Amino acid sequence: MSRRTCGEGIPDFYAKQVIEVGKPKCNGDWTGPKFDAVKEIFGLCRSIKDYNYKMDPENKDWPLISECNKEGFFKYYTTSEVQAIFDSLYTNKYEMTDAFVEFWNAVSKRLAKNPYVIGFDPINEPFPADIGVDPTLLDPGVYCKK
């Protein structure tokens, strides 16, 4: 979701706010069978700090990309920080949803008449927020409604 979490997409200042103000933690009981498939694909919930990656000397809040590349990016989706960022985006904590919509409105207005743009993908590979807080998001048809 952000460079702070071995990802990209969310501006650093939003990630910083969610992480430093919200103090994300792993929620729920990840030992239950509901989480088996999630654990198999993504691993257990943990903090990005638990990876003990070397940090970028120019920005001490960012793990080095070479360190981040040790795992597939999807492994970081179950970090407490990424789940909190998705949750903030989906629930408008810190007015993040409002800012996200405003940004994509500006982008779409700017590019609307460009004949070389056929579309855009504002949320590529979304994750269903904090599944520890709401494990029903893992139930068939809840996260991905038709």
Q: Which active-site residues does the annotation give? A: 125
Distance CA 116, CA 143 (A): 33
Is residue 64 within 8 A of residue 53, CB to CB? The reply is yes
Round to the nearest angstrom and report the end-to-end CA distance of the chain: 25
Q: Which of 20, 51, 45, 68 is nearest to 130 (CA)?
A: 45
Task: Tokens for 128, please give them.
Answer: 């269903």
What's 52-102 look like in SS3?
Answer: CCCECCCCCCCECHHHHCCCCHHHHHHEHHHHHHHHHHHHCHHHHHHHHHH
In this structure, what token pair is assigned to residue 27? 């929620």
